[in-house]
Structure 1
């Protein structure tokens, strides 16, 4: 059959057109890929472009997290029970032997089926934390013990497959965000890797001692995922990093917080985590925060945390204190004492006056109940914040954080006992500011009709003279008498009745 020359030309033209379309499609694909290229690369210079303390975080001031896991079952000593139960000279070991048997026969993993969380109600927790004034909340997603409090495909030791058999993190995320709170997940799992190289080793960087005949030395491949007895390179990549990516993918936390020993994780994996988290957040158009406790992440892309301590000067950028509501253990134990609501509130006020944020820990029981004394403390603090929160939320430090006799010591966790001893009085005042308002917060119950002097307003002290328009006491309807003395400061006569016995807020309205 003969084919006309015209038909051949048409056929060749269509082939050529199809080829062009394919090339255009390929070029378009390449262009799209270039447009969606990750913003953050795995190097500190690139990661440093991240806004490490977004406004929502700086304005939040208060978050709540909780140490709740397998270690809540024995409810003895503290959350380090899984380490101490292997050390013969420790009282936890003696307690364990007496109550459960020798740790070679009853290991930490044997507590897992006992962690049933049968009364865990995430909606009730969310309501409580909201009433307490928290703007973000979330779990210790994994402590040093290797048990994941989420539905994990990486480790069999997770809350969905064992223990409660519930996706604890997923349920909490839903409950907290439904109340308008941001979501935080805390990670302590850098210590879980078995770093002891010899039998009977007790390397502090490893949570579990490597004792002969004990479960952490077991060759059982399943137990290895709990006790961290996995080759280091595999553990760093698949376990430490893998778990972080899993939580990021499944729960999209607004804050990821790290405990110490993060510096024992190879730098390349720390960079990979940060790049992954920031890039995933950008896809969701979220501003996220990374908090670290040691010098293991640059402050150009992370926020500093001070455990059980705080700054004694104003921070030039946002920082955080993590402190527990209790007087001892971070996790629940049967004789756990709790700080007064006044002491917790004063700690928050002092932190906020220096541009800080408080991450407050609570300690639920193994069954999921938050003890009444902790709940009472939270609600009393929340009631104060409900009335006077304008002096806290969305504020920033004034030129001075405060005045009065009580001073905070230097140091980090190593000096935490000194911080525990601090008690403020009505002679201590802390300042915050928002817009053209300055708030002077008196730390304690005031004396009716007493005149107080705010020396921060004295001409020799103040950096930028302010024009005061009015002075009032939040919560009082009385007209407040006041006067300014350039040499001494601002004199304020307090109301005839005590407004609040926890802290009293003086609101100073100024004009430009």
Structure 2
């Protein structure tokens, strides 16, 4: 993912990273992640096919993003330890160049012999997820698909003779068969190719390490390299719904505003644009109606916004998704701490009530299996959605979207939903109350968990709902009714 480490005087942001070198077993430490705010500006797409796809995507509400690559082998943060910035910690006894060689050398050890994308897709479907974003290449440049542009790829290591060696193709096919919308994550920066990080120079930060104005040929090679790789994904990997581009510091200089400068990362004077108009034209010729998410780069190629590791404080009328992790990290880290299913459900309800979708991050283990705790959590979330999904899927935000810990959504046919968040591990209440979003006088109200009617009454602007004494405990209770 794209981490912003904002340097506000009142907020000290830091990241402690674990270092696992070959042959060592060092427990990974939790990281404090930066907050990625969505772009302050939004430009709605004008292509009717894109508009239609965007409307369909907004109906899905709940997706899975999978970070999986070399970083899974030692169980460390994805890619970022390659970057030489002052917030990154590494073993001071290991030279930086030696560290990069070790990290990229993990390609000789990455052999996920138990890779089973059909099982991943089954778990995600049972969780109630409806769209996928899979990391085809992160900033480290290691490709999880059989690109022809470089040998630094999953199909050129110990996994190359496996029948599912072209990992991305099999992931996309498995999720597509389960009815998911399909998204390809692709990192615009690539720290492995000499066209981005030229070995002639040091690599001081996340940016290209040479002056593009003085070495125009080299940057043009990089632009073509990027174009060719995205073309492969758009032409050779089946039907695509989303091209999800990460690494928003790689952008045209004219889009660098005060918001971008506030990230705290170095921003070069020259433009690092990769010619998005050309890429978008090609991609949409291959995939009509394709959603393009050029994260943080406001304009025609950021079809929806992506606040990271946070839920916005208020309702947002533009299309957006909160990118959140199921554990503390995007990728696999041993002994990571997973969020409870109740916490994830509460976040999902809040996100949807505020007009967004939730993209939940899961990191497979280096052998290709999902962590058991992740599978358990996802199953619990799916169980809740089986009973209450009517209040989540295909809904939109209401003007009055919240009253305390009760949130409201509205179906396309006008049904109003009230979703009351309950404390974790608490007994089911006998009464639920909220203010506003009143049902029509004399109308009926249904509790989705039981699919049965419940009694309610109104006193002024307050609604009181009476529940049966035999109610099973739940992270949240959802009610359907016709509003005034």
TM bin (shorter chain): 0.7 to 0.9
Does structure 2 conserve the Cα–Cα contact (< 8 Å) formed by 1:306 and 1:320? yes
Listed as ranges, the matches of 1:357-506 within 5 Å are 357-404=357-404, 428-434=405-411, 435-444=413-422, 450-457=430-437, 466=440, 469-476=443-450, 479-485=453-459, 487-506=460-479
Choose which of 245, 249, 255 in structure 2 pairs with 1:261.
Answer: 249
Residue 313, structure 1, aligned to residue 293, structure 2: no
1:74 deviation in Å?
Answer: 1.6
Residue 146 of structure 1 and its aligned partner are, at CA, apart by: 0.7
Counterpart position of 2:157: 162
Q: How many residues align?
A: 405
The 1-side partners of 2:100 and 2:455 are apart by 73
Q: Does the 8 Å contact 2:446/2:479 carry over to 1?
A: yes
Shift in alpha-carbon separation, 1:449–1:339, aligned structure 2, 3 A = closer
**Shift in Å, 1:167:** 0.5
Deviation at 1:354, TM superposition (A): 1.5
Check conservation: 2:407, 2:418, Cα contact below 8 A.
yes
Equivalent of 2:227, from 241, 248, 251?
Answer: 241
Q: Secondary structure at the match of 1:457?
A: coil
Contact 1:66–1:362 (Cα < 8 Å) also in 2 = yes
- Structure possessing the higher radius of gyration over alpha carbons: 1
- Counterpart secondary structure, 2:306: strand
Higher relative contact order (CA 8 A, sep 6+): 2
Q: Deviations over 1:312-338 (max 9, x none)?
A: 2222232111111112x2111223211
Give the C-alpha shift of residue 171 in structure 1. Answer: 0.6
Partner of 1:408: none
- TM-score, normalization by structure 2: 0.76
TM-score normalised per structure 1: 0.72
Q: Deviations 1:317-370 (Å, cap 9, x if unpaired)?
A: 32111111112x211122321111111111111111122111111011111111
Task: Give 1:373 shift.
Answer: 1.0
Displacement of 1:494 in angstroms is 2.4
Give the SS at the match of 2:458: strand
Deviation at 1:472, TM superposition (A): 2.1
Alignment correspondent of 2:327: 326
Q: Which runs of 5+ in 1 are unaligned?
A: 1-43, 211-229, 405-427, 459-464
**1:110 deviation in Å?**
1.4
Q: Distance in 2 between matches of 1:205 and 1:191?
A: 10
8 Å CA contact 1:145–1:189 kept in 2: the answer is no
Pick aligned residue for 2:105 from 110, 113, 117: 110
Write the deviation string for residues 455-486 of structure 1: whole angstroms up to 9, x where unpaired. Answer: 1236xxxxxx855621121223665221223x
In structure 2, do the counterparts of structure 1 residues 141 and 268 end up closer, same or farther at CA, with 3 Å as the change threshold? closer
Q: How large is the RMSD of aligned CA atoms in angstroms?
A: 3.1
Q: Aligned equivalents of 1:88 and 1:307: distance in 2?
A: 21
Deviates more, 1:189-198 or 1:126-135: 189-198
